[in-house]
Amino acid sequence: MLLHKIAEVREKVKEWKKQGLTIGLVPTMGALHKGHLSLIKKSVDNCDKTVISVFVNPIQFCPGEDFEKYPRTLDADTKLAESAGVDIVFAPTPAEMYGEGHILSNDFLTYVVPPFFYTDKLCGKSRVGHFDGVCTVVNKLFNIVQPDYAFFGEKDRQQLIIIKKMVKDLNIPLEIIPCPIVREDDGLAMSSRNKYLNPEQRKEALVLKDILLNIKACYNSGIKDVEALTETAYKFLKSCHNLEYLEFRDKNDLELKKVADKDTIVFIAVKIGEVRLIDNISLDS
């Protein structure tokens, strides 16, 4: 069922709650791919009812980012979701979510602001305000759908860590379920933004997983020093790869690591042409 209005979703949710059914929420920006489908499957398998939101959230895009050209494929998304067992596809307009006539800024909107220590690094460094927008919209979706479980991909690992922190800090009554990264056959992490890549760039995009897998192999062979592990990346980088960051951080609080251990996540962001790609790997197991 495709719904556009908050009140319609609330009504269905109320019905379900009365019947004692559990609800899973998968927040998305649409342009669904196999990564999203793995989240949806986990929700459908584990919850009585599954809601996915399809909303390209204006307040999490920074000036100059791809808000306008971000892929919007609602018809295809709805079909895909429903055939995967989704009960509600919630696709509100920006006006439905934020009201009409106001500038979408913290002058006139209540924001949920994650801690600076979590947002002043990695993607938050170049995307100022991005995670404020993410936390605000996710908080809204939580209040609208009131799920028992919410599913987030490990692809956006910093986001996942920040959402978990928000849930803990604000005592939000639900559980966050992390879902592993889904990859193309050649290892590229699934992302709606992969559509922006031309064939040449698509090949060059493998550099992210090449670097991460090599670091993991070196770690497993006994190298724990982060500086030494970082250096192993350089042989993969070509002039067409604009490395934004390659960092080793704690999986819970994003503290920087000097010595890698099983709690370490390696985060990478590379720009290839105009396309910014991210990936990450856990050194555990």
Please give the Cα distance from 89 to 79 (Å, whole number). Answer: 10
Give CA–CA dist 68/265, Å, rounded: 32
**What is the sign of the dihedral through the CA atoms of 276, 209, 125 and 113?**
positive
Q: How far is residue 232's CA from residue 220's CA, in Å, rounded to a whole number?
A: 13
Q: What's the min distance (Å) between Cβ of 93 and its own copies?
A: 15
From 4, 33, 36, 102, active-site residue: 36
Residue 159 found at the interface with its own copies (CB under 8 A): no
Rounded to a whole number of angstroms, the minimum distance from the CB of residue 142 to its own copies is 9
* β partners of residue 84: none
d(CA 163, CA 167): 6
How many residues comprise the chain? 285
Active site residue 36: yes
Say whether residue 80 binds its own copies (CB under 8 A). Answer: no
- Residue 117 binding its own copies, by CB under 8 A: yes
Question: Cβ contacts of residue 34 below 8 Å, gap of 6+?
Answer: 182, 190
Residue 114 binds its own copies (CB under 8 A): yes
Least distance from its own copies to the Cβ atom of residue 196, Å: 32
Q: Are 215 and 232 in contact (CB under 8 A)?
A: yes
Tell the smallest beta-carbon distance from residue 247 to its own copies (Å): 19
Q: Is residue 118 within 8 Å of 162, Cβ to Cβ?
A: yes
Query: Tokens 């947002």 belong to which residue?
Result: 119
Q: Is 234 in the site for its own copies (CB under 8 A)?
A: no
Q: Does 135 bind its own copies (CB under 8 A)?
A: yes
CB of 94 vs its own copies, minimal distance in Å? 14
Token pair belonging to 277: 């790609």
Work out how close the CB of 149 gets to its own copies at its nearest, in angstroms, rounded to a whole number: 16
3-state secondary structure 24-66: EEEEECCCCCHHHHHHHHHHHHHCCEEEEEECCCHHHCCCCCC
Candidates 1, 62, 76, 170: give the one binding its own copies (CB under 8 A): 170
The single residue among 136, 191, 264, 280 that binds its own copies, judged by CB under 8 A, is 136
Enumerate residues 1-40 that contact its own copies by CB under 8 A. Answer: 6, 10, 18, 20
Return the residue matching tokens 């924001």: 111
| One residue of 19, 83, 110, 239 binding its own copies per CB under 8 A | 110
What is the Rg, in whole angstroms, of the alpha carbon atoms belonging to the chain? 19
- When asked if residue 173 is in the footprint of its own copies (CB under 8 A), the reply is yes
Which span sits near its own copies by CB under 8 A: 75-83, 141-149, 212-220, 265-273? 141-149
Residue 52 or 161: the one with the smaller Cβ distance to its own copies is: 161
Q: Is 128 in the site for its own copies (CB under 8 A)?
A: no
Which of 106, 198, 220, 252 forms a contact with its own copies (CB under 8 A)? 106
Measured in whole angstroms, how far is the alpha carbon of residue 69 from the centre of its chain?
Answer: 18
Active-site residue set: 36
- Contacts with its own copies by CB under 8 A lie at 6, 10, 18, 20, 106-117, 135-136, 139-140, 143-144, 146, 165-166, 169-173
